[in-house]
Structure 1
């Protein structure tokens, strides 16, 4: 099983969460808990998925739950660096068309408004 890790950083008034490894039915629990504890409902969040190697439906559920919570609270979520081969679930479900997605972290930081 590939290792899974994530890190939080504050950059230019936004919370950047870098994800590395498989975000799946096992690993999503740790990320869910950290998001609930550390991310305010009105936060501007960039989820840097450049290091993501796999995303299953449970991991996708984590992204959707965060997105909905932030939208309700006046925050925003941007997904940066998602690659089709690692995050296929985003495209298969049609969510890639609903999320704000950009090519990389610099592009996400440029969206700050």
Structure 2
């Protein structure tokens, strides 16, 4: 995988759709990421453990889906977020507000 490639895969964990994100989330991959999220439906867990870099535009998409889940009553969580590749979450202060969990099991338990 080259530095600018993005691989998105989906799986199910009970009623949750788990989207594994591998690669760079930036302006060059934003449309691919946005399209995949739009088709994924509700009750999402984003596994960001494979992200190598995230910019503010990608974070904006994530925040949009989180806010939508709050207004629609659907479930949303992030797992595998690492400071070294997602610093923008901490710089913006969103790391303390977004539903971050270490593992899928923790996220599933918290989401019910």
The two structures share one fold, judged by TM-score above 0.5: yes
Counterpart position of 2:20: 18
Q: Deviations over 1:32-66 (max 9, x none)?
A: 11221231xxx221100110110001111110111
2:34 alignment partner in structure 1: 32
Q: Where do residues 1-113 of structure 1 align in structure 2 (5 Å cutoff)?
A: 2=3, 3-39=5-41, 43-113=42-112
Question: 13-22 or 64-73: which moved more?
Answer: 64-73
More displaced stretch, 103-112 vs 85-94:
103-112
Equivalent residues, number: 110
CA contact (8 A) 1:50 1:104 kept: no
Gaps of 5+ in 1: none
Contact kept? 1:45, 1:76, Cα under 8 Å: yes
Residue 106 of structure 1: how far off its partner (Å): 2.7
> Matches of 1:46 and 1:106 in 2, distance apart?
11
Q: Alignment RMSD, CA only?
A: 1.3
C-alpha separation in 2, matches of 1:16 and 1:38: 9
Query: Which runs of 5 or more residues in structure 2 are unaligned?
Result: none
Query: What's the TM-score, normalizing by structure 2?
Result: 0.90
Question: Separation in 2 of the partners of 1:61 and 1:10?
Answer: 25
